[in-house]
């Protein structure tokens, strides 16, 4: 009876991967857009999986961190340099990187997205 047990647990893992949470899409955005800088820490970018660098950022909180990154901060280009990136797409990529460094963030819900958007508006207005 050992074999079937192993197989069924394998299926559980596979099923879990297929029904991955929405922020799993953040990994695709991350790979396509953010990894070019964040994988190696180009230009002082906080390196993905660097718990020390990300620890400070994670403490800032998901709303300000997502909004500031989206609007652009210091050497971090707005929207990761990809103007067509939406706020939810960007937010999920941030979730992916934060979680890679030990956070337990989730894809923002509508209420959080609204707060992120408000902060982006403020930051963009302040820059003009």
SS3 category, 110? helix
For residues 46-75, which are near ligand HEC according to CB under 6 A? 46, 57, 65, 68-69, 73-75
How far from 70 is each of 62, 63, 78, 86, CA to CA, in Å? 12, 11, 5, 9
Does residue 95 belong to the site contacting ligand HEC (CB under 6 A)? Answer: no
> From the list 58, 71, 78, 94, which residue makes contact with ligand HEC (rule: CB under 6 A)?
94
> From the list 34, 71, 78, 116, which residue makes contact with ligand HEC (rule: CB under 6 A)?
34
Q: How far is the CB of 95 from ligand HEC (least distance, A)?
A: 9
Phi-psi region of 10 (alpha: psi -120 to 50; beta: other; left: phi over 0): alpha
Give the binding-site size for ligand HEC (rule: CB under 6 A). Answer: 26
SS3 category, 73? strand
């Amino acid at each position: 009876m050992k074999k079937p047990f192993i197989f069924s647990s394998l299926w559980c893992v596979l099923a879990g991967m297929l029904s991955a949470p929405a922020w799993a899409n953040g990994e695709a955005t991350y790979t396509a857009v953010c990894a070019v800088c964040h994988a190696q820490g180009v230009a002082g970018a906080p390196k993905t999986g660097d718990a020390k660098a990300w620890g400070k950022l994670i403490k800032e909180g998901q709303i300000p961190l997502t909004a500031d990154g989206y609007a652009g901060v210091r050497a971090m280009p707005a929207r990761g340099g990809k103007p067509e990136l939406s706020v939810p797409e960007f937010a999920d990529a941030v979730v992916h990187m934060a979680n890679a460094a030990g956070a337990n963030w989730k894809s923002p819900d509508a209420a959080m997205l609204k707060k992120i958007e408000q902060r982006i508006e403020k930051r963009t207005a302040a820059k003009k």
